[in-house]
């Protein structure tokens, strides 16, 4: 399988800084702001954005939660493999809040739809914005568009975008994996 690096560790960090600053510019006061990261992969991005926002706002009191969407997926009963839910951690009310919903790769839009459904179990926010590190814009099945985008990538169906987060936060990168198909 062929692969190529879309974002190096350095470029990814610059992108994360830019995304956090865009949220900061849009939401001058963090009082009504809440960051909600979608389990499982959006959590890695959400935690990094949260840390950057804490520095920009100069406060530790930004509301942050992690949301499991397993039972809200439209393919929940169609999958052959057993889906194991992750832990939802929302220890604040989202009622009337400005929400930034975070996921790493926006593909078909179905994960975001499930995230919206799951989030509404916790209240009715005033507004929801979407942040995606990678937007695979030509793969959308639902009318979902990010408000904050790290990078737009035009890929074909048999290509995969993978965000690799390292435990030590020193070797993060985004890789595009392609197929090894040859035209006969």
pLDDT in tens, the chain (184 residues): 799 999 999 999 999 999 999 999 999 989 999 999 999 999 999 999 999 999 999 999 999 999 999 877 766 555 566 667 778 899 999 999 999 999 999 999 999 999 999 999 999 999 999 999 999 988 899 999 999 999 999 887 789 999 999 989 899 999 999 876 544 4
* pLDDT at position 184: 43
Q: What are phi and psi of 94, to 5 degrees?
A: -95, 0
Tokens 């979902």 sit on residue: 144
pLDDT of residue 158: 84
Question: pLDDT at position 70, please?
Answer: 87
Cα Rg of the chain, angstroms: 17
CA proximity to 102, closest of 64, 152, 76: 64
pLDDT at residue 79 in the model? 56
pLDDT score of 183: 47
3 within 8 A of 177, measured Cβ to Cβ: yes
Q: 114 Cβ partners below 8 Å, 6+ apart?
A: 69, 72, 73, 74
* Residues in CB range of 131: below 8 A, 6 or more apart: 19, 23, 45, 49, 100, 101, 102, 103, 146, 147, 148, 149
Report the predicted TM-score, pTM, of the whole model to 2 decimal places.
0.91
Q: Is 13 helix (H, G, I), strand (E, B) or coil?
A: helix
What pLDDT, on the 0 to 100 scale, is given for residue 74? Answer: 63
CA distance 118 to 115: 5
| pLDDT tens for each residue of 45-65 | 999 999 999 999 999 999 999
| 11-156 CATH, one of 3.40.1440.10, 3.40.50.300, 3.40.50.2020, 2.60.40.3120 | 3.40.50.2020
Q: How far is CA 87 from CA 9, 44, 172, in A?
A: 28, 14, 24
Structural element, H or E, at residue 110? helix 110-120
């Amino acid at each position: 399988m062929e692969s190529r690096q879309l974002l190096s560790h350095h470029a990814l960090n610059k992108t994360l800084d830019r995304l956090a600053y865009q949220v900061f510019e849009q939401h001058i006061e963090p009082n009504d702001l809440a960051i909600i990261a979608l389990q499982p992969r959006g959590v890695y991005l959400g935690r990094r954005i949260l840390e950057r926002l804490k520095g920009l706002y100069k406060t530790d009191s930004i509301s942050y939660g992690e949301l499991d969407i397993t039972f809200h997926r439209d393919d929940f009963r169609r999958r052959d493999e057993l889906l194991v839910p992750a832990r939802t951690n929302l220890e604040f009310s989202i009622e009337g809040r400005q929400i930034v919903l975070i996921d790493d790769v926006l593909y078909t839009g179905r994960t975001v739809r499930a995230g919206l459904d799951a989030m509404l179990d916790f209240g009715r926010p005033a507004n929801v914005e979407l942040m995606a590190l990678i937007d695979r814009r030509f793969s959308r099945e639902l009318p979902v568009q990010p408000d904050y985008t790290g990078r737009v990538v035009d890929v074909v169906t048999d290509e995969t975008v993978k965000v690799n987060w390292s435990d030590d936060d020193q070797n993060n990168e985004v890789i595009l994996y392609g197929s090894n198909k040859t035209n006969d």
